[in-house]
Amino acid sequence: MSHPCPRARRAPAGPASLVDALRYFLTPPLWKQVRAALPGRKASRWQAQPLVFVLLAMTWCTGDSAPERFETARAFYVATHPRRRRPGATCAGSHRALARVPARALRVAAAAVRGRLAQARGRALGVDGFLPFGCDGSRVACPRGAELERRLPSGSTGEATPQVWVTALVHLGTGLLWAWRLGKGDADERQRLRQLLAALPPRALLVADAACPAYDVLRALNGAGRAFLIRLPSRAPLYVPDKPALKKYREGPVYYRPAREQRKGRPPIPVRLVRLRRRDADVCLITNVLDERRLPRKAAGKFSRWRWRNGGLFRTYKGALKKVKLCSRTVAQVRRELEGSLLAVQLLLAQGALALHRAGEADVLPSPRQVLAAIRAEVRDITGAYLGPRQRRTYWQRLEQARRDSERRKDKARRPWPGRLPPRPPRPPKTLKMGTDLKELVEQTLYGL
């Protein structure tokens, strides 16, 4: 009988540090794919790994400005990669290097993290025989630059700042950001949802609100073999096969066919109507899972209540990470800032979910704020303990660098501002002839005559 060696090391329960956690998700094959998507610039100090690493750390770090967050992120990369060539020392240089990176390189990284997460969690992502995903969108404001106002119109009524529409898929069982697509502020959310269908794995169940039941989207889901559970608006047309049972019909098989599709002669979509009792008003859902045993009413109600986790994602993105308004001032930089920050959110939630899964609490949702606090504590400890004298600057050296730019600033007051009248310069003062009484008063007051 063989006995285990007493000196054999046990496998670690999980990554021991933030760098190990990033290496767990950002594997060497991933960096190989990212480098293949980058343009060939061998002499640049900003290679793929430090550029993405600093971009992620800038999203997690605290700071009132981008240069302040860049300094912390770069110091963290230098401290954790002492044998690698140090990247550039300026925030503007990193922005220029990032603008040359194709957006597909960051999407490749997001797809690799998604695959790594599915491999790590495995069957734990399934709930009641499905992989439930929620779809929702939100607008992110951008600075009022001339290029952004021209190319990124706002989707709000009236004059507003330039905006970008983010459509995201969230795994409802764990609250993880799965995939996303970007568009202009007035983009069609349903069109972005059709682009996201390729990211849905087998056995996926798409859960959405009343804004998404488009005929083309439902047909695309049926064609891809994906299930859906969508809340219907009051104006949605449903047709019952049996006419005498129309008044008392509550649940069962129905057909969805809007009036526009009827005029085009397109066929109806067979669905199942599920009505959930609520105190204020009933909730009507439709699904293409026609077998009630496969998707019972109880499971449908649970998935419907989980839709709020989509809003939790954007609350984390805009509240915890302070991404209510972006900092970039060109379309290329806005796109890459969004891709990098959403990748940072995906990695943040993935680390929390992986830690809970290995601790035996797979059903518990990770707290984004607590994970972010742990990441910031790790960055603070590493940058304070491992930076050498060449990387660390004294207080007086920082004061010597605190100088104004010699570049001439543009007059921002000349640009039109919504809801504000243009300023009018004051007119020249009136010049009047002094009368006799005023002359005598001046002589008595000033000269004492």
* Amino acid letter for position 233: P
Mean pLDDT (the chain) is 82
Q: Which CATH number does the domain housing residue 205 bear?
A: 3.90.350.10
Give 248's Cβ-side CA count (13 Å radius).
Answer: 2
Mean per-residue pLDDT for 290-302?
91
Residue 164: per-residue pLDDT? 92
More confidently predicted of 122 and 330 = 330
- 249 located within any domain: yes
Query: pLDDT for 60-93, tens place per residue?
Result: 998 888 888 998 999 999 888 888 888 988 888 8
- Count Cβ atoms below 10 Å from residue 43 Cβ, excluding itself: 4
Mean per-residue pLDDT for 324-345?
91
Strand partners of residue 254: 271
- 110 located within any domain: no
Give the number of domains in the chain: 1
Query: Does the pLDDT at position 4 exceed 50?
Result: no
- 295 located within any domain: yes
Q: Give the range of the structural domain holding residue 285, as residue numbers without chain letter.
A: 125-329
Query: Does the pLDDT at position 20 exceed 80?
Result: yes
Q: Which residues contact 117 (CB under 8 A, 6 or more apart)?
A: 25, 176, 350, 353, 354
Query: pLDDT for 362-409, tens place per residue?
Result: 777 888 899 999 999 888 888 876 666 656 666 666 666 666 666 565
Q: Is the pTM of this model over 0.75?
A: yes
- Helix%, strand%, coil% for the chain, nearest 5: 45, 15, 40
Mean per-residue pLDDT for 241-261?
75
Structure-token pair, residue 8: 């054999």
Residue 346: per-residue pLDDT? 92
What would the DSSP string read from start to end of 7-37? TPPPPPSS-SSHHHHHHHHS-HHHHHHHHHH
Find out whether 162 and 338 touch, Cβ atoms under 8 Å.
Answer: no
From the number of C-beta atoms within 10 Å of its C-beta (0-12, 13-18, 19+), residue 252 rates as: middle
More confidently predicted of 88 and 282 = 88
- 257 located within any domain: yes
- 389 located within any domain: no
Query: Does the pLDDT at position 426 exceed 60?
Result: yes
- 347 located within any domain: no
Mean per-residue pLDDT for 276-295?
86
Closest to 297 (Cα-Cα) out of 269, 277, 279, 281: 277
Residue 397: per-residue pLDDT? 67
- 150 located within any domain: yes
Lowest mean pLDDT among 21-30, 391-400, 425-434: 391-400
Check residue 134 and give left, alpha or beta (phi > 0: left; psi -120 to 50: alpha): beta
- 162 located within any domain: yes
Check residue 101 and give left, alpha or beta (phi > 0: left; psi -120 to 50: alpha): beta
Percent of the residues in the chain that have a pLDDT greater than 90, as a whole number: 17
Query: Does the pLDDT at position 417 exceed 80?
Result: no
Q: Predicted confidence band at 37 (pLDDT cuts at 50, 70, 90)? A: confident
Helix (H, G, I), strand (E, B) or coil at 133: strand
